[in-house]
Chains A and B, each alone.
Chain A
Amino acid sequence: MRYSARYLAKRVGFALLTIYLAATADFLLPRLMGGNPAQALASSTGLASPATVAAITKQFGLSNPNWGYQYGLYLWQLVHGNLGISYEYYPSPVSTILLRALPYTVALVLSATVISFAVGWTLGMIGAWRRGGWVDQVGVSIAFGFYAVPYFWLAMMLVFVFAFLLGWFPMGHALPSSITGLTPWQWIAGAVRHGILPVTSLVLTSTAGHLLLMRNNMLTVLSDDYMQLARAKGLKPFSLMFRYAARAAMLPSFTGLMLSLGNVVGGAVVTEIVFSYPGIGLATYNAILSHDYPMIQGAFLMLAVAVVAANLLADLIYPLLDPRVTLQ
């Protein structure tokens, strides 16, 4: 399978443009909302001598009040992977702290997405195949029920019931408190045990979208002419469902997978807080509480870049599933 240059250029260009837009929003929004970051930093570090303010002002490139100049400097720093210095963990760079948190969020979002997708697809497929049957009715109503439930409340209830009352799972954090002396298997088992509740809360609330998309796509495909033909040829129901209908219905819902990522990331941000799961969401929450502005900005940008990267990856996989895309 070879990608056409045009498809590749279009997708990469779109990804870069999105990151640029996010970075620009990240630059503009705080300035539009008012406030002097250098002064805030200087006063919060408790070293508010005029010399410190001047030094920090220079360090953050704020000595020149011209936004154009600051913007140029900001982009230049970004290209070099510099997201600024955290107020709270001064003088640690924001990027160091966030890069340590990123794998946790990625693991959470990725496993939740894969599982909710698999569940949603399966239920959507069966539901459409036996439209109005019990799987269809129960699946759709449960999915919508969970759709209306706030992520963080579901997470709190899971902690309350399965960690506090029943004690089946840990109350929070991503790993056992002492990880020294653990064998790799124990480490993995610990990580899984800590991950089950957060992932479950995300899966429960995000399955509805996949289910409905797959169901609708299946219904469309099932009424197509070639399904009629396949049925007339006397193909077995099993092969009709999987080799014909599901395969065709999956393609459009793959696009749905990409667009749902942003939502799952939003959910993960809130869920991490409930579980004290040390990802970007928890870092953002702590940054909000301690007014650590560079951290908030950095976290937003990192989430945006992660989602864009995942989208680009999906865009590159898509032609492998449906070769027609690159031929256009």
Chain B
Amino acid sequence: MRPWAHMREEPPPTGLGRGWLGGKGWAGVGIIAAFTLMAVFAHGLAHYSPTATFAAWQPPSTAHWLGTDDYGQDVFSQVVYGSRASLVVGGLAGLLSGVIGTAVGLVAGYVRGIGSEILMRFVDLMLVIPALALMIIIGAFLPSVGQGAQILIIGALSWLWMARSIRSQVMSERERGYVAAARIVGLSDGEIMLREVLPNVVPIVIANLVMVITAAILVQASLNFLGIGNPATVSWGSMLSLAFTDDAILQGAWWWIVPPGICIALFAYGFVLLGNDVLDRYARGREG
């Protein structure tokens, strides 16, 4: 027990430590886990290599569960391997954004002064500029955009909302008794931020992180759809991009259009479910 524990007005809420996730949260975890397994064991799950070619435009059959595209590539194998791109880019870009957003939100919320004021004004300015359009011009001017570049571009531009949300929570935390107590005991601002305030906003951080990952998955798919990505890397977005440019709609090739979209939506929805559950529990913990 820390020496100033008795000075607390109230026990600090530990939203996460209290109880398990609810049904929705676990459903989200299940979806994310299923796609992660799919990405890891893609080699065993897929029947063929994602780039092996067969007869083109085949509807689903026992040989090709989800048919083939206009190159004759097996759609099911492509969907399975495509999960890797969403997992890696969505996850890492989300994490990068999460780290930046948490750091900015923590500092701008805890430290008062002209510096953090300017920082938040800058965030407000950036929020107005359409992020996707900004990503497009960066991506379009890069000589080539691989997964690493996608992670950096998405990660560097997706933390703005998160920073605002964490900042406002930190601003109310810093007025709480335990922060005053920590200050009296003589902890430095850096220590208070990292060891006292941060643990108390963890649920908000996680809920935001999950939302940022959702957004990163969707944005990555959009960038691939726009041709800002490596077309040689199989991803759900690049599959849809190809399906669109090669007129899958006019060919009635629903088996090529529906599965990648469902996968993106379901994968993103898994994170939404998890994030909502964490936030709900946190809010309920605060009320009660």
Contact = CB atoms under 8 A, between A and B. Distances in A.
Q: Top 10 nearest A-B pairs by Cβ distance?
A: A266-B132, A153-B261, A148-B268, A33-B141, A148-B269, A262-B130, A149-B265, A265-B130, A30-B141, A300-B137
B272 A288 contact: no
Contact of B133 (A153, A156, A273, A304): A304
B41 interface: no
B129 A304 contact: yes
A153 B240 contact: yes
Q: Is the interface of B mostly helix, strand, loop or mixed?
A: helix
Interface stretch (A16-24, A191-199, A226-234, A246-254): A16-24
A312 B272 CA distance: 32
Contacts of B124: 14
A64 B221 CA distance: 40
Interface in B206-228: 214, 218, 221-222, 225-228
A133 interface: no
A324 to B, nearest CB: 20
B269 A293 contact: no
Interface in B100-135: 124-134
A148 B271 CA distance: 9
Contacts of A26: 137
B136 interface: yes
Contact of B264 (A17, A153, A308): A153
Interface of A: 14, 17-18, 21-22, 25-26, 29-30, 33-35, 144-145, 147-154, 156-157, 159-160, 164-165, 171, 259, 262-263, 265-266, 269-270, 273-274, 284-285, 287-289, 291, 293, 296-297, 299-300, 303-304, 307-308, 311
B94 to A, nearest CB: 14
Contact of A308 (B128, B214, B226): B128
B244 interface: yes
Nearest to A144: B272
Contacts of A157: 257-258, 261
Nearest to A32: B141
Given A159-B249, A288-B228, A296 B218 contact: no
Interface in B233-288: 237, 240, 243-244, 249-250, 252, 254, 257-258, 260-261, 264-266, 268-269, 271-273, 276
Given A156-B257, A164-B249, A304-B133, 13 more contacts: A21-B125, A33-B138, A33-B141, A34-B141, A144-B272, A150-B221, A152-B244, A156-B240, A156-B243, A259-B128, A269-B132, A270-B222, A273-B244
13 contacts: A14-B125, A29-B137, A33-B142, A145-B265, A147-B272, A148-B264, A149-B261, A149-B265, A152-B244, A157-B258, A160-B249, A266-B131, A304-B128
